Amino acid sequence: MNEHLYAVIMAGGIGTRLWPRSRSAKPKQFLDLLGPRTMLQETIDRLDPLIPADRVLVVASEEHAAMIHAQVPALPRENFLAEPGPRGTAPCIGLAAVALLERDPAATMAVCPADHLITDPAGFRQALEAAAALAQKEYLVTLGITPGYAHTGFGYIQRGPSLGEVNGLPTFLVQRFAEKPDAATAQRFVDSQEYYWNGGIFIWRAATIMGEIARLLPDLYAELQPVAGAWHSPRQREVLSAAWERVPRTTIDYGVMEKAALVAVVPVDIGWDDVGNWATLSGLVKGDPQGNVFHGDGDRLLLETTDTYLYTSAGRLVAAVGLEGFVVVDTPDALLICPKDRAQEVREAVERLRADGLAGYL
Amino acid sequence: MNEHLYAVIMAGGIGTRLWPRSRSAKPKQFLDLLGPRTMLQETIDRLDPLIPADRVLVVASEEHAAMIHAQVPALPRENFLAEPGPRGTAPCIGLAAVALLERDPAATMAVCPADHLITDPAGFRQALEAAAALAQKEYLVTLGITPGYAHTGFGYIQRGPSLGEVNGLPTFLVQRFAEKPDAATAQRFVDSQEYYWNGGIFIWRAATIMGEIARLLPDLYAELQPVAGAWHSPRQREVLSAAWERVPRTTIDYGVMEKAALVAVVPVDIGWDDVGNWATLSGLVKGDPQGNVFHGDGDRLLLETTDTYLYTSAGRLVAAVGLEGFVVVDTPDALLICPKDRAQEVREAVERLRADGLAGYL
């Protein structure tokens, strides 16, 4: 079965909350945020040997194609899918399903965001195999991340009746998907031990998801039909661009998963993190005795500074005096300073940059 | 009398606490910290018309000579005195007295630091004239800054019996000089209304101070004698350098003023400030409605940021999210971040830079 198992890496995100390192020319997934390899490289590395690079598809913006092939030389040219523009995860997944069905009508696809951390790749692959087995029974399968705490920034998945053990792992029907909860609700979810974080990792047969798109997102399905018809033709690019002008922006969670009938979850505890903002990134790294974390290759001087994340750039010096619990990201042309507990607001700062005519820094 | 009144501008400081704008190549006094003119230019501007540039002497390091003449084109070449190295204010003043006595044995000298702010130049000149009149009676005269609050970073001057009104201003004998006090003592000083801040502005006849140096600092006086003897000779520079190898480091306050007999004070309220660190500098500028002060010509983005001083550099962006009461100084190669209430500690940060092999940023 595994020769029909493909990975679809969604690499079209912009990683706003990791600005100013994450930029439109080189978003989060193309950065070496946590080690020598980029997030994209790590994402593809961890699939091996279950899914080698020739069965990996990367969906991203055309402008990042050269960078992607440079970062992943083993990726065949034809495995890069240029999405004409971001329309949410549902059109992205629909496009990948079209491409896979053209290539292998028996394809099963594991949809993985390109910008997440997983510290237990073997556990991840074991879960993918379990999910792929369930997918053969027409389930839409999601990995459910065992929640480390009552995070309010993620959607949650409530498990339902057991589907038994698959590939050595317990599996469940999904009872429901819950949107990002408030703090009290999140705590209740965690305490119940019935809920998992929705990490956006999905496994299904390409034919299954295409059928569900046809049923639940008929507008998207209608736009995908001419795209499939023109695949491998000289008009492929033109038809896709025209379709993408019209496809409605939809997430796969809202558009399909919350309404589908046969949805399964494979609970995992694989060291997953979405590396969502500078504070969470900092929390993933062991700091010095004062709790400070240093990245980058610039100079630094710290005086009475604790619990602070510092990214520095070559040829520059950052001097921090008396900082407690801060994020300082000093790139060659843009500097971010904020308390760790405001790290989520970097998103608003980036929006303001655009509004203030400072988009050159994005 | 005024044609014998000279100013001696002490411009040899290094302005450590205003790093990273103040650098060894261009210390505080040569920067436009508070407006279009540099501190040195302001210092010389405000003497006019009482003391025109041809009666202004500037004492500084040789390496800053070109910059000083560029900033003050009206300064005659011979009015620049190169001090071979910093030895405290007493040798600096002794050197200036030597130069002035060679030029004009009847010289009266007003000693002014090059890096202080005075917002009432007319009041300042009125006080200088009063002080110069007292100086003709052999007094060592100091301006006493009416204290705005119980500052613990300045020395204080306690007034004694009245010397009557001079040039429209009350004048007093000095009772004593007090070193930097603790907070309670400072408050007592201010409450008594008998104490003034010692702003380091002194007025005396060159012959008077030279006599006091001979009496109170005989080691310094001994070194100054060959310097005076070689003045205008080919050996002037060599003799001065040799003397400066030996002169003990002494301040005029400790070495002379605290021990001299005839010391007078002219109290002033002339908008004086030593612009001692980034927090005090920020307090001298009217901020925006959120209390933020912006200097520099770079880009900036502030989100929920209050009471913060921001210096930005061209071609770079500073994004501040959720800062309250901070100093951020972003120069092309070095960045400082600290809470305003830690601004004094920039001095230690600079010392650490030297110790850590990062003196290239000084």
Please name the helix (run of DSSP H) or strand (run of DSSP E) that holds residue B218, with its range, or none. helix B218-229
Check whether residue B148 and residue B221 sit in a common domain: yes
Check whether residue A265 and residue A150 sit in a common domain: yes
Q: What is the pLDDT of residues B180-220, one digit of tens each?
A: 999 999 999 999 999 999 999 999 999 999 999 999 999 99
Whether A321 and B336 lie within 8 Å, measured CB to CB:
yes
The chain B residue lying nearest A360, using CA atoms, is B317
Q: Would you tell me the crossing angle of helices A236-246 and A218-229 to the nearest 10 degrees?
A: 170
A341 contacts on B by Cβ (under 8 Å): 322
pLDDT at A91: 98
Please name the helix (run of DSSP H) or strand (run of DSSP E) that holds residue B25, with its range, or none. none
Q: Which residues pair with B83 in a beta bridge?
A: B61
Mutation for testing the A interface, residue in B17, B277, B278, B301 having most A CBs under 10 Å: B301
Give me the mean pLDDT over the A316-332 stretch.
98
Of B303, B335, B349, the CB nearest to A345: B303
Check whether residue A262 and residue A292 sit in a common domain: no
Give me the mean pLDDT over the A301-317 stretch.
97
Check whether residue B119 and residue B30 sit in a common domain: yes
Give me the mean pLDDT over the A292-314 stretch.
97
Secondary structure (3-state) at A316: coil
- Does A20 sit behind a cis peptide bond, omega within 30 degrees of 0 on the bond before it? yes
Domain that holds residue A296: 278-361
Check whether residue B206 and residue B234 sit in a common domain: yes
Instruction: Look at the alpha carbons of B142, B89, B119, B125 in this order and tell me if their dihedral is positive or negative.
Output: positive
Give me the mean pLDDT over the B333-339 stretch.
97
The chain B residue lying nearest A359, using CA atoms, is B317
Q: What is the pLDDT of residues B270-301, one digit of tens each?
A: 999 999 999 999 999 999 999 999 999 999 99
Structure confidence at residue A2 as a pLDDT band (50, 70, 90): confident
Whether A319 and B348 lie within 8 Å, measured CB to CB:
no
CATH number of the domain that B144 lies in?
Answer: 3.90.550.10
Whether A349 and B315 lie within 8 Å, measured CB to CB:
no
Check whether residue B119 and residue B162 sit in a common domain: yes
pLDDT of residue B362 exceeding 80, the answer is: yes
Question: What's the structural domain count of chain B?
Answer: 2
Give me the mean pLDDT over the A298-310 stretch.
97
Structure confidence at residue A247 as a pLDDT band (50, 70, 90): very high
pLDDT of residue B1 exceeding 70, the answer is: no
pLDDT at A241: 97
The chain B residue lying nearest A337, using CA atoms, is B320
Measured CA to CA in angstroms, residue A276 lies from A186, A335, B18, B28 at distances of: 18, 19, 36, 42
B358 contacts on A by Cβ (under 8 Å): 299, 301, 317
Check whether residue A267 and residue A294 sit in a common domain: no
Rounded to a whole number of angstroms, the distance from the CA of A301 to the nearest CA of chain B is: 7
pLDDT at B40: 98
Check whether residue A250 and residue A285 sit in a common domain: no
A294 contacts on B by Cβ (under 8 Å): none
Alpha helices in A195-314 (DSSP H): 206-216, 218-229, 236-246, 252, 278-283
Q: Which residue has the tokens 């959607």?
A: A155
Whether A335 and B322 lie within 8 Å, measured CB to CB:
no
pLDDT of residue A356 exceeding 90, the answer is: yes
B18 touches chain A (CB under 8 A): no
Check whether residue A256 and residue A208 sit in a common domain: yes
pLDDT at A261: 87
Q: Which residue has the tokens 């993918």?
A: A128
Check whether residue A93 and residue A193 sit in a common domain: yes
End position of a domain, from candidates B247, B273, B299: B273
Give me the mean pLDDT over the A31-52 stretch.
97
Whether A349 and B20 lie within 8 Å, measured CB to CB:
no
Q: How many CB atoms lie within 10 A of CB A36?
A: 7
A318 touches chain B (CB under 8 A): yes
Whether A335 and B353 lie within 8 Å, measured CB to CB:
no
Check whether residue A65 and residue A22 sit in a common domain: yes
Q: What is the pLDDT of residues B14-42, one digit of tens each?
A: 999 999 999 999 999 999 999 999 999 99
pLDDT at B2: 86
End position of a domain, from candidates A217, A241, A273: A273
Which of A247, A145, A167 is CA-nearest to residue A2?
Answer: A167
B294 touches chain A (CB under 8 A): no
pLDDT at B164: 97
Q: Could you tell me if B156 and B189 are in contact, meaning their C-beta atoms sit under 8 angstroms apart?
A: yes
Token pair listed for A237: 């690019």
Using a pLDDT cut of 70, give the percent of chain B over it.
100
Check whether residue B252 and residue B176 sit in a common domain: yes
Whether A337 and B320 lie within 8 Å, measured CB to CB:
yes
Q: Which residues of A328-345 are buried (b: 16+ CB within 10 A; e: fewer)?
A: bbbbeebbbbbbbebbbb
Q: What is the pLDDT of residues B98-128, one digit of tens each?
A: 999 999 999 999 999 999 999 999 999 999 9
The chain B residue lying nearest A339, using CA atoms, is B322
